[in-house]
Each structure stands twice: as structure tokens, then as C-alpha cells.
A and B are shown apart, each in its own frame.
Chain A
Amino acid sequence: MTHRRDVLAGLGALPFLTSASWADLGKPVAGSGARTAGGQDVFVGLCAQGNMTFEVPLPARGHAAAAHPKFAELVAIARRPGAFSKVIECSSGRILHVLNAPVGRHFYGHAAFSVDGQHLFTTENDIETGEGRIGVWDRSLRYARVGEFSSGGIGPHEVILLSSGALAVANGGIRTHPDSGREALNLATMRANLTILSQSGEILNQAFLPQAERLNSVRHIAEGPDDAILCGLQWQGDLFETPSLLALFDPQAGLYPIPVSDTLLRKLKGYIGSVAALGDTGFAASAPRGNRILSVSQAGEVFAEHKSEDACGIARLGSGKALVTNGLGQVMELSSGRLETVQSVPLRFDNHLIAL
């Protein structure tokens, strides 16, 4: 099989790339990594009603995935500090390519495609220096690595493509080394930032939280209307001193924390797991340790909290709505301030539900 593929590649055909579109796979609106009852790691597609449309095996538990904007092709990013990410053809489950982080690098959990789907951007750690990097991979060259540039900080986690075509990177600020797993090595000096980069790596904007929130790690981001970006934070200090867990970025005003009541802050346990923009109604954020989903207005006000155990994945589902998944296998719909279970499946959904 491999031989035949190589031959075909030599002839200029591209069987290494998927030609099936997402619509061919039962019109999934979102997808997520998950673990089956038998312990197999999979990636599943979900339709708007919460039913599964496809399921493909994954070689290990992933963190997030980047979905090709057009074709039913997925890049499952290794959990940090993994060095391999896999390109999966969702119609067959075949692994088309393996992305190997260059020597001295490892992946940091997230990736994003360019609008045309030709380039993939991955967050990475330069292990020796601790500098965050963005790796650039070219799909048309069988996902060859074609470049890289600085992420603008330490510990980049989520990278997203903005409507302007620029990239936004959540530089969590936490230095880690594979030899010590996920242990934070620089708490004494850590400082997270949000960096806006051109696709060639030029820093277009950069914003920091106030010094008093130095121990807040910016990790997950979502772009709303008017170039605003909601940031989901993870507090590294005393949980009972958590100052805030969400911040809103405005290109002119910078990055400012969203005030939340003490009562709510204590429930959230210092940890936001993912964020999503829902269009006109604002944003949603998940707090899997606090077993809560938060509805956040465009102006950055938490206007509703919804209980759901171990809920983490959120993906926009048309304007104002979202699908939400949790570690108990529930698929929920979030709309106009209500969260309702629409489906229960024997899976443990992973951290991130991505819109397809």
C-alpha cells in the first residue's frame, strides 16, 4: 500500500490528501476527541442534534484538533509534551501523515489552519530556551514543515486564526521541560500574554494582564465581534486568591480581566478549560473543575452559569448557540442562556469540541 502511494505521489496524484468534504460524513457540525468505554481514544463527529456522524480511532489521547476548513481531514494534536501529531482522513480513519516536531521541540496542544486550508500553524516549545514557537506546515507538500517563528512569549497553548487573517496566540507564560512533565518551572517570573501575529510571524499587537494577575495563564481564546478576543485563564497561585478567570482583549484598549463575584470565582476552582464565541450573544466558557458553563456577554459580563459535570468542550452552532460536551458523554445545547442535554453517548468527551 505504501509503495503504491509513493508511486502515485511521484506521478503527481495526491492520495495523501482527503477529497471527501465534511458534508460527505453525515454533515457533522462539530467534532471532539473522546475515549470509549473500552478505553480506545477516538475522534467523533457530531451533528446538530448531538448524534454521532463518524468515529475514527486515534493512536493516543489527543488534546485539541484542527479541522481542515473544507476537506474531512483532521490534525489531532498531541497532548503536551508530545512530539507527534497525526493527520487523519475522517472518511476512512486512515492516518495520512505524521507531523514530527523538529528535534528539540514539542507540541503544546493546539493548531490552526489558514483560511484556504493550505497552511497549518502549531504551538510549540523550544525545549532548550523555553521560547514559544509557531511551526508552519504546508498541506500541499504532504504537510512538510516549511517555516517557524516566535510565538511572542513562553508556553503558547491555543492558536486561532482571526477573521483578519492574522493569528492570535495565547502565550500561557509557563515554562515546562519534558524531563519534568508539566511542572511549571518559572512561576517566580511567569507572565502570560496574548500576541497577534501575521502569518509570517510579525508581531501586530501584544497585551499583558495587569501585574497583580501575573500568575494567571492565558490559555484558551476565541474571537468575537469587533476584533474582541475572550481569553480563558488558569490561575497558578492560591486558589482562594484567584483574582479573575476571564479576560477580554480589545485591540485598542488591551487586555483587561473580567470581574466575577467571589461566590462564582470559588466555584470555578481557578480553571477555565475552553472558550467559544457565539456571535451576537457573546461567548461561552467552560470550567470543568467547577462543573460549570458560563455565558458571557459581548461586553464581558458573566450573565448566566449552568451546571454540568466535567463539561469542557464548546463549539458554536449557528448564531447564539453552542454544542457543549462533557466527560460523562453528554452532548448539550446552549442557547439563550439555557443548557439542555440533547444526547448521551457512552464516551468521555475530551477537552475541546471544534466546530466543523
Chain B
Amino acid sequence: MLRSLTVLLCFASPVRADVNDYADTFVGRGYALLATSAQMLSDGARADCSPDALKPIFFSTYDAWIAVSHFQFGPVEDRNLALAMTFWPDPKDRVGKAITRLSVAQDPVVDDPDLFAEVSVAAQGFTALERVLFDPQSGPDYACRLIQAIAAEIARNSALIHADWAEFSELMRTAGAPENTRFQSTDEVTRALYTSLSVGLEFLHHQRLGRPLGTFERPRPRRAEARRSGRAQQHVELSLIALNILSIHLGGGDAPRTYAAFEDALDRVRALDDPAFAGVAEPQARLRLESLQRSVRDIQEAAEDEIGARLGISAGFNALDGD
């Protein structure tokens, strides 16, 4: 399952890579991989919409997205596509409600891609597709059309993201040039990337791990990300790898505590056999997940000290005021 990311990893030069190298190699290629894979997913759904036939390509396309989803700015943000790609966390079950609404009404909106692009984003992305592929559906014919519609929408959005990338990466490259209004200095690019790192780590700690962990008295296994397809553990590993690479570039290869903490967290997640994090409710497995969460906290602290401080970036003066 990790093959796609391993391919990307081969391009990693361990030290002294600058942020544009990072963007081209990991984000640019990552988007290309996503677009290609998503097109295969859509084509595959048209050829055979049975869940069993589609699951393998669903998994690899989802992998491709998770590997780049920490990159918070650029085409995804400009086109407001983050939620359309994955609608999670979803405490109010908006995804379930949106899918049920379409299915109960047998809404023909699924047959027209332009109209489907206008339905609730909760029904459009990987989270919705997972639901239809892994939860029993009442009407197989409508479920098939819905699967095809969602797969086509994922392909379309992935293609848009990839198509916009060339222009956006040029803006990153020419930061500080007089005509560049998007990035007035290279510092702004670095700052945006550092934000992606810190927000990505926080998302790992608070949401991907924190949400299912809940409290000791009240663990919340049903809140785990992508639990239906058993991908919660996989998402943690993929995002750790992606963020680790970003930290290597931002830290110029010289942030030893950060890298060691990443290694520790990766060791811990790879030692798990708890694909949907159901173990949060069992004492032994829970301990392992709590240790993993603590190791993510260690990464956060080390990255703040070693990378953020060196770049002269501290957390928001106003954002943290809380008043």
C-alpha cells in the first residue's frame, strides 16, 4: 500500500534541499500521482462499479491524497477543495446524511457531473466513497451510479489541483519578485510550509489520534478516520512520512531531535496491528496508541524548538491569545 509513497521517497535528497525542491518533488509529483490514480479510479468505476473490484484503486488513490493533504495552501485552498476531497472529522455525520438523502430520493444528480459538483461537499470525496463502498447499500443500481459520480468528482478535482500546480509552483519559485503579489518574499513561502508542518502535526495529534482515543473513561473507536475501510493506522503512517520529509527540507537536515522523534513515532505506528484503531477501547492496545500520540507531541515540541525558532517563526501572537 505504501508503494506510491516509497516511489516519492526515492527522490528525497536527505539534506540541504530547499523548499522549491520540496514543492516540485513532493507536492508537484504527488499531485501528478493523485491525478493519474484518480483518473484510474474513475475509469475503473465506469468499467465495473462493484466494491470488490474498486477497492484496490480506491486504496491507492486515497494513499496519494493523504500523502499530499498536509500541503495546506495553493490550488487546494484556492479552489476550496480540501473538504470536497475528504470530509473528516465529521462529528455530525454529514457524510452519512448526504449519502442517505441522495439514495432515498434516487436523485438523478449523480448522472450529471456538473450538477454533482454542486451537491454537498460531504457527498463528494474519499469519505463519501468509502461509505458507499464499505457500508451495505439498499439499492445496488443507485449505489453504482453514486460510486461512479463520486469517483468522477474525485478525478475531476484531482485534475484541477494538478493542472493549477504549474502556475502556483512558479509563484513559489519567484517569491519576492516585483510582479509576484502572492508571495512577497521567500520568507512567506517558508512560513506557509512551516504552517503546513505544524498544522499537520496538530491534526495528527488532536484529530487522527485524539478523536478515537477520546478519554480513558470514554474511548471513541467510531470516531477513527476511515475506520470502515480500516485505514486509520495507514493514514497516521502516511502523514508521518509526508511530514517527516517536509521537516527534513525545512530543517535543512539539521534538526536531530525532530528527526529522532519522527523515527520513534514511525516505529510505533509500524509496530501496531490496529488498522481501524478499534484498540482504543482495549487497555493494552490503548496504551500503545497513547504512546504513539505522545511521540507525536514530542515531534511537535522538537520541531517548534529546532525548526520554528530557527526560522524565526513562533505561534500566532493573536491566534493564541484566546480572548
Q: Which residues of B contact A326 (CB under 8 A)?
A: 318
Min distance, Cβ B123 to any Cβ of chain A, angstroms: 12
> Is A240 within 8 A of B191, CB to CB?
no
Q: Does B74 contact A (CB under 8 A)?
A: no
Contact among B80, B317, B322, B323 with A310 in the assembled complex (CB-CB below 8 Å):
B317
> Is B121 within 8 A of A35, CB to CB?
no
Q: Mark B48-81, 1 if CB is under 8 A from A, else 0.
A: 0000000000000000000000000000000010
Q: Which residues of B contact A312 (CB under 8 A)?
A: 318, 321
Q: Mark B289-323, 1 if CB is under 8 A from A, else 0.
A: 00000000000000000000000000011110111
Q: Does B83 contact A (CB under 8 A)?
A: yes
Q: Which residues of B contact A351 (CB under 8 A)?
A: 318, 321, 323
Q: Which residues in chain A, 297-356, are within 8 Å of chain B measured between CB atoms?
A: 309-312, 326-327, 341, 348-351
Q: Does A68 contact B (CB under 8 A)?
A: no
Question: Assuming the A-B contacts A238-B91, A241-B91, A309-B191, are A350 and B318 also in contact, with contact meaning beta carbons closer than 8 angstroms in the complex?
Answer: yes
Q: Does A214 contact B (CB under 8 A)?
A: no
Min distance, Cβ A174 to any Cβ of chain B, angstroms: 11
Q: Does B92 contact A (CB under 8 A)?
A: yes
Q: Does A45 contact B (CB under 8 A)?
A: no
Number of A positions contacting B (CB below 8 A): 30
> Is A288 within 8 A of B319, CB to CB?
yes
Q: Which residues of A contact B89 (CB under 8 A)?
A: 238, 240
Q: Does B111 contact A (CB under 8 A)?
A: no
| C-alpha spacing A309/B92, complex, angstroms | 29
Query: Which of the four size classes fits the interface of chain B?
Result: 20 to 34
Contact among A262, A289, A350 with B319 in the assembled complex (CB-CB below 8 Å):
A289
Q: Which residues of A contact B135 (CB under 8 A)?
A: none
Q: Does A63 contact B (CB under 8 A)?
A: yes
Q: Does A5 contact B (CB under 8 A)?
A: no
Contact among B191, B316, B317, B319 with A35 in the assembled complex (CB-CB below 8 Å):
B317
Question: Assuming the A-B contacts A63-B323, A79-B323, A263-B80, are A310 and B91 also in contact, with contact meaning beta carbons closer than 8 angstroms in the complex?
Answer: no
Q: Which residues of B contact A271 (CB under 8 A)?
A: 319
Q: Mark B122-135, 1 if CB is under 8 A from A, else 0.
A: 10000000000000
Min distance, Cβ B265 to any Cβ of chain A, angstroms: 23
Q: Does B170 contact A (CB under 8 A)?
A: no
Q: Which residues of B contact A341 (CB under 8 A)?
A: 184
Can you list 7 A-B pairs, Cβ within 8 angstroms, ordered by A? A63-B323, A79-B323, A80-B323, A238-B89, A311-B318, A341-B184, A351-B318
* A residues in contact (CB < 8 Å) with B: 35, 63, 79-80, 109, 157, 182, 219, 238, 240-241, 262-263, 266, 271, 273, 288-289, 291, 309-312, 326-327, 341, 348-351
**Can you name 12 extra interface pairs (CB under 8 A) apart from A309-B195, A350-B321?**
A109-B323, A219-B323, A262-B94, A262-B122, A263-B80, A288-B319, A289-B316, A291-B316, A291-B319, A310-B316, A310-B318, A341-B184
